[in-house]
Structure 1
């Protein structure tokens, strides 16, 4: 079967015990929808949220906006984590808008373009960088480091042409750049392999705007000593607690593990 959408997932912002968002809300818990969902560019970071109608982004400092309008994650990678964690994982549990099947999302190149359904055109911008909210939602100690080590981040996309999509829609790769900057390489360059950073500029301005600025800075001799970055590509000034190494010591009681098929937790 050709690459396709297993589900299109949205969620509402809801309170959670621990989150990096000062408002105490997160929109990470997304659930499969029925029927068509309109997708369009949401606007710039800080004011624009999700690209999917009916989907919420609670923390606009670090998430949402045109360069992170849509997040895709492969069902094959969810199955990997389900086996690793010893628990079922439902589509949308990683906060992904698109749960895909039949395509290696981590091998997607920055600037690669997908036509999804009849009209939606997406362009890959960056990998997902894990944060403590993600770890607390899953109830997994050491999750940020574990997720980073696996290098299965999934991909963020910007919307080049709006459209309406639904589960079962075909994914067609209509443009694949000649450079070698994959989503996985961009992820590794930010989390633990700084030697890869000079290669990021080959993707040019197709990169997430903030990641492109970082790549330019990393290429300058004056910033060559910066080898410890762990921030979200959308926010070069991200607080330290967004990383595993800086998580507060009191995080010794992980949240209850996610149930894939039961009632949704109070997280939107």
Structure 2
């Protein structure tokens, strides 16, 4: 049975010298919960969808389409073996560390019931310098991109509460094949896949839809 293995938040930001804002909320730690989850609002003016969680850069993180970040314990275990490190739950900055459910091949628009909340898969996590510096791994962005186990961002369709041990149920799986992995590759290494993201409709973040259309215009004009 798929479950929430750990619920993780950053109760405050930490000062760093490698981000634009000088702080980061990537250092998320397990908490008992339950915590409320709700749609946070428009990106750039609102933060995390998880109560008590803090974000360091509102222009890069948070908002409705990045309300909750999930990562599978199975993928953390993979990286644990690859890196030779002990990776705790929350180490990748995820709000939900799950067990028994695949994030990489989940489809954009797929709906999960977690506790009393309904979440919808909306995007893949794109690695950045903050992620690399926090882990202390040189070449991390390239390595993470090559492996393509990015974890999934979710938007909140129905507000509720969740906690460690809550069951995860897939309520709806769209009939397209735009997976988190395909989304990730389209935005990182395989730009030719970008037009396919439109198959997932309004489950795709507006800024990504805008990017697809801009690229199409550029190609037509070239």
TM-score, shorter chain, exceeding 0.5: yes
Could you tell me how far apart the structure 2 residues matched to 1:18 and 1:210 are? 25
Greater share of helix: 2
Match of 1:175 among 172, 175, 178: 172
Match of 1:39 among 24, 37, 43: 37
Match of residue 92 from structure 2: 94
Greater share of strand: 2
Match of residue 5 from structure 1: 4
2:219 aligned with 1:224, yes or no?
yes
Deviations 1:154-178 (A, max 9, x none): 0110101111110010110001000
Matched length: 220
Alignment of 1:119-198 (within 5 A): 119-198=116-195
**Residues 201 and 216, structure 1, Cα contact 8 Å, conserved in 2:** no
Following superposition, which runs of at least 4 residues in structure 1 exceed 4 angstroms of deviation?
none
| 2:97 counterpart SS class | strand
Offset of 1:122 from its aligned partner?
A: 0.5
Deviates more, 1:96-105 or 1:206-215: 206-215
Match of 2:55 among 54, 57, 62: 57
Deviations 1:35-82 (A, max 9, x none): 311111111111110011110011001000111000000000000111
Q: TM-score, structure 2 length as denominator?
A: 0.96
Give the CA RMSD over aligned residues: 1.3
Structure 2 gaps, min length 5? none
